[in-house]
Structure formats: structure tokens, C-alpha cells
């Protein structure tokens, strides 16, 4: 039997001072002067919806984790550790995994959070017509309730990624009472079992929450009130912190030096975020892989980082950051900056005299898009920039075949590959994938996380995808927080940002 319990990870958790689940706030700047209570205002994006099943934006997970708890969570390094489930056990074949829940869990509406509630929530995520997480749960053939605190997922193949998968939106458990009474209302009124309860939500403006005293790890939540407020413009975030409008705010690289000059604390955090060009390879000229390879060779990634992102980032040819287990060293410099090679590939594809394309971006005067336009035009790719229609969901409509985008990595590296490259993947605009990609993913999925061959299996799957699919990765870039010096205990999570152990001293 393969078992992961709270006991087996206790030593690791003790080493991660101040991390999620550790009730001792001993992160950067923490001192004895910090006390529980008070409020924290976070300058951040509001979610596309407060329902984790229908969320269409990867970064929603950061906000949804305030209102919902998942079966597992991730530590600062991206490893799955206990949350609502205090342990999990696989059978020998790896095609069944049993989660043991903590005793006495409840949702914020008073509904018991037991094995039946977990079953109902996960099956809704798998089967709801409007679910955006159904593909991730497709491996689950059935769910068996063994006792009020034991629930077993029956799988159609060995899959040791499940504890990772269920640490994000896919594993967030929603009250069955709320689903039955007003499922549409979840879009604006979340009902979960997370560290906070939503009090007020004004779309595009702010959300206010208060501490959920019944949260399973409530002792680690050291602020009573939490407010999310959208900065009117990223350039005013620093001024907003100085004026007391925010305690912590995400800032663009352009504001980093201004934040430091203002005496604010700055956290530059390596995360699962990469800039990428989404490409629909069923549309000309992108249906010829030589064209997409030419595009990649024509791009000077270091210049993109230096000019458009003020040096904050690392050139990359794959969806994962360096030092993460899925990063494949053999893919580094896969298509190095080589304008001559780009021109050769275009000529081989029948475009010796050049080719015209339209590159879609999300905003006017996007410096990254403008620099890409210059770089591609230097090799004979005539680029017209256009701004996507506000509210257009290209992941669903696929109306734009060539798009400047960002990808926020998922909790499981294989889940990330399926979102990017799977035949149902939201960022696979062509909705096609050669079978060797899925075969490589399945090999990695069936490899236990503690198996010596696991990392290589994941890296092989990354290579199979990146070398055959058209998505063009540009560079990884960090999450940058500016914070008032009174904020302590903010840990650096590679995945979902969490706020256990955080205090505000003023």
C-alpha cells in the first residue's frame, strides 16, 4: 500500500516555517510584535466567478482559495500535503485512492462536509455541462463512500497525480446544499469551507471577507478581515500602498524600483507563470510546423525580458520554470534566436517572400506585443496587431488563432500539459494532439510521485508535447508583491498564494 498521511509529512512541514498549515508565522520580517486580528487589504484580481467548477481563469485559484478548502493543498514547493483530507492511501494497482477526512468539518452554511458532500462536489465537477474542470476529473469512473470520513476515487487507470490535482480548483469542495438551492448563485456567493467567508462582492471593484472560525486550520489565520480590491491601474498600486489603500498588492516589473524607493517591502516570487503565444495549428499559415518553428527562431527572448519586463524573467521554451521537477534541460534553447534559420524555414514552407499574420493581444499599446511585432517583421513575418474584443473568451470561441497569452501552471504538471496540449485543453486552440503526447502523459501519470523515475517520466511528457505542438513559450516571469512593512509572514508559494501566518502590525 502507498500511503501519505499527516504523520509522514510532519517533518517536512516543521521545516517550512510559516507555510500553509503551520500556525507559527515565522516568515520574512516576522517578530514578536505581530498579533492576531485586524484586517488585510490585498490589491489583486477578482475572480471570473466564485464557483470553482465554472472558473475560466487559472489565476482565479488564488482568490477562490480564500473561500474554499480543497481535499489537499500545496506547500511552498508545490508538494501535496493534507488539508480537508488528513491522509490518503492508494491501492497496490494505483487505480483507487482513498481520502480520509478530518472529523467535524462544516461548510459556511452549516452543512456537514462529509464523504457524501465530497462525492457530490467532485461528481458535479466531472459531469456539470458548464464545468471547466471536467477533463481533469475524467479519470474518475466512480466515487465510493466508505464511511462519513472516508471516500474512495475509482480510476480508469493508475494515476498518482490525484493528490496534486485535488489541491487546486478541481479539489475545492462546494456545499451540496448551495448547489441544490441556487447553483447559479455560487457565481457571486461562494459556499465552501475555506479560511474566510464572503461578506460583500462588487464585480470589478472589491470583495470583503471575514475569518471562518470553523475552518479546519483556523488557528493559522491571524487576520479577522480580508479585503480584495482591484487597483484601478497597475501603476498606482505603489501609491495605493503608501496611502493605506492596500497592505499588499501585485505590481508589474515596471513598478519594482518605485516600490523599493518608496520604502516598501518587495517580494519577487518564482511561480508557475509563463508568457506564451497560443497558436491554432488548423489555421493557415500555422498549420505548417515550419512556420511556427520560424516564429520561435525569430524571437529574441532575452530582449523581451529586458525591454518589456525590465529584466524580471527567464527566457524559456517550455511551460515550467527552472528548478521545477518538470523542467527539461534538453529543451533549453530548443529554438534559439536565429534570424537566418527563421528565414530558411519560411522559405521551406513556401513563404520565401514573407507571410502576413495577425497577432491578438489584450490591450492597446502592449509593449510585449509591439516588440514581438518588430522581431517577427525582421525575418519577413508581417504582423498586424489587434486587440481582442472585451469579454471574448478565446479559449472557448477560438476566434483568434495567434494570441499573446500567459499561462499559470496547474497543481499537477500533467494537468498543465493537458490544459496546454490535450485535445480538450483550453489553450490548445487547434483541439488536436498527436497520440504520443497522451501516451507519455499516461506513463508519467502511472508513476508514483516517490518513484526514482518519476521526474524523468514527467520531463519526457513535456518534451513530447513541446516538440510537436505549436504553442510558443517565451519566458517565465515572477509574481511581484509590494507590501507595507507592517505586513509579516507572507510566504513565497510557487503555486497558489496562501495567507496562513500573515499578520498586519499596524
Confidence of residue 94 (pLDDT cuts 50, 70, 90): very high
Judge whether 492 and 255 are in contact, CB under 8 Å: no
Q: Which of 25-39, 140-154, 364-378 has the lowest mean pLDDT?
A: 25-39
Task: Report DSSP state, residue 11.
Answer: H
Percent of the chain scoring above 90 in pLDDT = 84
Residues in the chain: 506
3-state secondary structure of 358: strand
Judge whether 485 and 12 are in contact, CB under 8 Å: no
Q: What is the pLDDT of residue 393?
A: 86
Confidence of residue 235 (pLDDT cuts 50, 70, 90): confident
Burial code (b: 16+ CB inside 10 Å, e: under 16) for 430-445 equals: beebeeebbebbbebb
Task: Report DSSP state, residue 17.
Answer: T
Q: What is the pLDDT of residue 428?
A: 96
Average pLDDT over residues 233-250: 90
Q: What is the pTM of this model?
A: 0.86
Q: What is the pLDDT of residue 424?
A: 85
Task: Report DSSP state, residue 172.
Answer: B
Q: What is the pLDDT of residues 198-210, one digit of tens each?
A: 999 999 999 999 9
Domains identified in the chain and CATH numbers: 38-187 (3.90.76.10), 274-476 (3.10.105.10)
Task: Report DSSP state, residue 423.
Answer: T
Per-residue three-class SS string for 433-476: CCHHHHHHHHHHHCCCCCCCCHHHHHHHHHHHHHCCCCCEEEEE
Average pLDDT over residues 125-142: 95
Q: Left if phi > 0, otherwise alpha if psi is -120 to 50, otherwise beta: which for 27? A: beta
Residue 22 has pLDDT above 60, yes or no: no
More confident residue, 18 or 224: 224
Q: What is the pLDDT of residues 461-493, one digit of tens each?
A: 999 999 999 999 999 999 999 999 999 999 999
Judge whether 388 and 403 are in contact, CB under 8 Å: yes
Beta-carbon contacts of 264 under 8 Å, excluding residues fewer than 6 positions away, are 238, 241, 242, 482, 483, 484, 485
DSSP for 42-76, please give it. EE-PPPS-S-TTT---TTHHHHHHHH--BSEEE-T
d(C-alpha 414, C-alpha 357), whole Å: 31
Distances in whole angstroms, Cα of residue 9 to Cα of each of 79, 160, 183, 260, 447: 10, 17, 36, 37, 20
Cell of 272: 508557475
Q: What is the pLDDT of residues 387-428, one digit of tens each?
A: 999 888 898 899 999 999 999 888 999 999 999 999 988 899
d(C-alpha 375, C-alpha 103), whole Å: 58
d(C-alpha 106, C-alpha 123), whole Å: 19
Residue 17 has pLDDT above 50, yes or no: no
d(C-alpha 387, C-alpha 36), whole Å: 46
Cell of 147: 464511511
Q: What is the pLDDT of residues 354-372, one digit of tens each?
A: 999 999 999 888 999 999 9
Confidence of residue 31 (pLDDT cuts 50, 70, 90): very low
Closest by Cα among 143, 476, 98, 148 to 317: 476
DSSP for 102-153, please give it. PTT-B-TTS-B--HHHHHHHHHHHHH-TT-SSTTTTTTEEEEEEEETTEEEE
Q: What is the pLDDT of residues 268-302, one digit of tens each?
A: 998 989 999 999 999 999 999 999 999 999 999 99
Percent of the chain scoring above 70 in pLDDT = 93
More confident residue, 409 or 440: 440
Residue 227 has pLDDT above 50, yes or no: yes
Q: What is the dihedral of CA 291, 294, 296, 297, to 10 degrees?
A: 170
Confidence of residue 506 (pLDDT cuts 50, 70, 90): low
Give the count of beta carbons closer than 10 Å to the beta carbon of residue 188. 14
More confident residue, 245 or 3: 245
Q: Which of 168-182, 339-353, 404-418 has the lowest mean pLDDT?
A: 404-418
Q: Left if phi > 0, otherwise alpha if psi is -120 to 50, otherwise beta: which for 331? A: alpha
Closest by Cα among 40, 42, 50, 56 to 201: 50
Largest CA distance in the chain: 70
Amino acid at each position: 500500500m502507498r500511503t501519505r498521511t499527516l504523520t509522514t509529512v510532519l517533518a517536512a512541514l516543521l521545516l517550512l516555517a510559516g507555510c500553509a498549515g503551520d500556525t507559527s508565522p515565522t516568515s520574512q520580517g516576522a517578530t514578536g510584535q505581530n498579533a492576531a486580528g485586524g484586517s488585510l487589504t490585498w490589491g489583486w484580481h477578482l475572480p471570473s466567478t466564485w464557483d470553482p467548477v465554472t472558473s475560466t481563469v487559472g489565476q482565479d485559484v488564488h482568490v477562490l482559495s480564500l473561500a474554499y478548502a480543497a481535499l489537499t493543498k500545496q506547500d511552498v514547493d508545490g508538494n501535496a500535503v493534507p488539508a480537508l483530507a488528513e491522509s490518503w492511501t492508494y491501492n497496490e494497482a494505483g487505480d483507487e485512492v482513498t481520502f480520509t477526512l478530518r472529523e467535524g468539518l462544516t461548510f459556511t452554511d452549516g452543512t456537514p462536509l462529509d464523504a457524501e458532500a465530497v462525492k457530490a462536489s467532485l461528481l458535479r465537477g466531472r459531469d456539470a455541462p458548464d464545468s471547466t474542470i471536467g477533463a481533469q476529473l475524467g479519470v474518475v469512473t466512480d466515487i465510493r463512500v466508505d464511511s462519513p470520513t472516508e471516500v474512495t476515487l475509482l480510476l480508469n487507470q493508475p494515476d498518482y497525480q490525484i493528490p496534486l490535482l485535488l489541491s487546486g480548483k478541481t479539489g475545492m469542495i462546494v456545499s451540496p446544499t448551495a448547489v441544490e438551492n441556487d447553483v447559479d448563485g455560487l457565481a457571486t456567493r461562494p459556499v465552501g469551507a475555506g479560511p474566510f467567508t464572503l461578506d460583500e462582492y462588487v464585480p470589478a471593484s472589491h470583495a470583503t471577507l471575514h475569518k471562518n472560525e470553523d475552518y479546519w486550520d483556523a488557528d493559522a489565520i491571524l487576520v479577522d478581515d480580508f479585503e480584495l480590491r482591484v487597483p484601478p491601474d497597475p501603476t498606482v498600486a505603489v501609491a495605493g500602498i503608501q496611502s493605506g489603500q492596500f497592505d499588499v498588492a501585485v505590481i508589474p516589473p515596471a513598478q519594482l524600483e518605485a516600490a523599493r524607493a518608496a520604502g516598501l517591502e518587495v517580494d519577487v516570487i518564482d511561480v508557475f507563470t509563463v508568457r506564451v503565444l497560443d497558436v491554432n495549428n488548423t489555421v493557415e499559415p500555422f498549420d505548417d510546423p515550419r512556420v511556427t518553428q520560424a516564429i520561435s527562431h525569430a524571437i529574441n527572448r532575452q530582449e523581451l525580458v529586458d525591454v518589456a519586463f525590465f529584466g524580471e524573467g527567464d527566457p524559456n521554451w517550455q511551460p515550467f520554470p527552472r528548478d521545477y521537477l518538470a523542467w527539461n534541460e534538453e529543451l533549453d534553447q530548443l529554438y534559439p534566436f536565429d534570424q537566418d534559420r527563421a528565414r530558411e524555414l519560411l522559405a521551406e514552407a513556401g513563404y520565401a517572400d514573407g507571410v502576413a499574420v495577425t497577432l491578438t493581444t489584450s490591450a492597446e499599446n502592449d509593449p510585449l506585443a509591439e516588440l514581438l511585432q518588430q522581431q517577427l517583421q525582421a525575418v519577413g513575418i508581417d504582423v498586424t496587431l489587434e486587440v481582442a474584443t472585451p469579454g471574448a473568451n478565446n479559449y472557448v470561441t477560438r476566434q483568434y488563432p495567434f494570441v499573446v497569452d500567459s499561462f499559470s501552471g496547474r497543481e499537477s504538471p500533467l494537468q498543465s500539459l493537458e490544459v496546454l496540449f490535450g485535445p480538450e485543453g483550453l489553450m490548445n486552440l487547434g483541439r488536436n494532439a498527436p497520440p504520443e503526447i497522451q501516451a507519455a502523459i499516461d506513463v508519467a501519470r502511472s508513476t508514483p510521485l516517490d518513484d526514482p523515475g518519476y521526474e524523468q517520466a514527467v520531463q519526457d511528457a513535456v518534451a513530447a508535447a513541446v516538440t510537436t505542438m505549436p504553442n510558443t513559450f517565451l519566458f517565465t516571469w515572477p509574481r511581484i508583491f509590494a507590501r507595507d512593512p507592517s505586513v509579516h509572514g507572507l510566504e513565497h508559494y510557487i503555486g497558489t498564494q496562501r495567507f496562513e501566518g500573515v499578520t498586519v502590525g499596524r
